[in-house]
Structure 1
Amino acid sequence: MTSLDVYAGARPVRTTAVADGATEASFPAPAAGSAIRLEGFSGNDLAAALQLIV
């Protein structure tokens, strides 16, 4: 993967470049009961996605 996008609800809150190994990204705490979605990209292609309800 080359980048990671973070969404809280339907709103984008963070985009960060990804390197080999661990990558950390901070973002504001979402409202209780809302969804956090992570989308990992390899170039322009979606390579992985995860959604969590917090």
Structure 2
Amino acid sequence: MRPAVYAGKPKDSSDYDKITVGALQVYVPKNVKTDAGVIDVDMMGKGIYQRLVVSGLTM
């Protein structure tokens, strides 16, 4: 599985955990592999220059 970002809710959201970050809702696959069982989802930057940062995923 390769990380990817898509706008909108997944067609079948039952296969995903929903994480709220600020005003965003992030859907992460339930079977995703993590470094230590933890995924860190955060926003970096200010104003229109904010970006979503995800760490802790294992490839």
User: After TM superposition, is the score higher than 0.5?
Assistant: no
The structure richer in helix per residue is: 2
TM-score, normalising length: structure 1: 0.29
Structure number with greater Rg is 2
TM-score, normalising length: structure 2: 0.28
* More contact order relative to length (CA 8 Å, sep ≥ 6): 1
